[in-house]
Structure 1
Amino acid sequence: MNYPLFAIAGLIVLGFSFSFAYAHTTIEVGPYEIEVGWQDEPPVVGILNSIAIDVREPGDVEGISMGITNAFKNLQASVFSGGASKVLDINTDPRPGHYYAKIIPTKIGSLEIKLEGEINGIEINVVIPVEDVESTSVLDFPATSGSSSGQ
């Protein structure tokens, strides 16, 4: 038998069995790239996390972007879940163009971030989905239910 071939085939099949989530979503608005996502993934209900927002513009060298400072001077970020919404308190990261808002997700499910206002005269009015909030079961160890071994 050719065990290395089976091992490689098994790894390929295993790689395709993982499901992919939103992770971070990047959109373009005018000359700007705006990336939104969770600081810590996966986001878990009841655990402190942050919504991370990066705002960049093209740099002097092609393929290199620069962070926009003071991007939230005239820009507001809100989070939406079902019918509930909240204006986010945006904090500035020490790195230019990096911003975050602390949040404790209280329900499992999807959230959307709405950015509304302007950056240097460019109107911004977008809604960006972020990765779904999951139950604590994704982090539980050992499992708390469904197993009677190890008691």
Structure 2
Amino acid sequence: MRRAILAVALAVPLLLAAFSLRPAFAHSEAEVGDIRIIGGWENEPPLLGQLNAIYIQVERISDGSPVTNAFSSTDVNIVKGGESKALEVLPAEEAGVYLADIIPTQLGQYAITFQGTISGQQVNTQVEIEDVEDSRSLNFPESGDTGTGVPQGFVDEMRAVISDLTTQIDSANTTAEEARDTALAAAEIKAEADRAYLVGIVGIGVGVAGIAIAAVALRKS
């Protein structure tokens, strides 16, 4: 019995220490009248280009009770720098909790703005949420690795060889086209020469025939 009590006594501090070491969500809050709005990212830390969601919790300060249907008359926007985007806020399974899917595309801090009425309370406030981080700090393997076990240097060399072969093929095609054009030109020149030779032969034949006719005529006279 004493051993069981001792084991429990030792386990409780260890459990408390374990829970105390869990990272706390970097959620911020704003209070308007009896309404408390808590906002942040659903997945933290938020990473650049990764699907995430805006987490919003609405409760009454007086008794801590959740506020349902909180945004039926309230516009909710996410703001980064000078740009803003309306959020499609949907209720989560837990009462008083709402989510809006989003993919952050810039590093740095974002804010959620609220303007309208929540449970009869006029609301015009904003909540700043945790900075979006670059995912490269969590990448593994390093982005220089292709993930296939092939060294990046070898891949780069193969790309260079392929590029060189492509250039040589293009050059060979150009040379072949030039040779073909030259051959066509030579064939045309030869054809012209053949025609000129034929015309010359015909001319000579006509001349010889004329001389023969003239000789016969002289002999008769």
Moved more, 21-30 or 105-114: 21-30
Shift of 1:32: 1.4
Shift of 1:58: 4.2
* Residue matched to 2:39: 36
**Cα gap change, 1:41 to 1:67, in 2 (>3 Å):** same
Alignment partners' CA distance in 2, 1:79 and 1:59: 28
Secondary structure at the counterpart of residue 136 of structure 2:
helix
Secondary structure at the counterpart of residue 111 of structure 2:
strand
* Residue matched to 1:110: 109
* Residue matched to 1:8: none
Alignment partners' CA distance in 1, 2:87 and 2:57: 15
Contact 2:116 2:122 survives alignment (8 Å): yes
Q: Which residue identity does 1:91 align to in structure 2?
A: L
Q: Which residue identity does 1:83 align to in structure 2?
A: G
- Moved >4 Å (runs of 4+): none
* Residue matched to 2:90: 91
Q: Point out where structure 2 has 5 or more consecutive residues left out of the alignment.
A: 1-22, 152-221
Q: 1:50 aligns with which of 28, 46, 53?
A: 53
TM normalised by structure 2 equals: 0.52
Q: Are 1:74 and 2:64 counterparts?
A: no
TM normalised by structure 1 equals: 0.75
Shift of 1:123: 0.7
Aligned length: 124
The structure that is helix-richer by fraction is: 2
Alignment partners' CA distance in 1, 2:113 and 2:26: 17
Q: Which residue identity does 1:32 align to in structure 2?
A: I
Q: Which residue identity does 1:72 align to in structure 2?
A: F
Q: Point out where structure 1 has 5 or more consecutive residues left out of the alignment.
A: 1-19
Secondary structure at the counterpart of residue 137 of structure 1:
helix
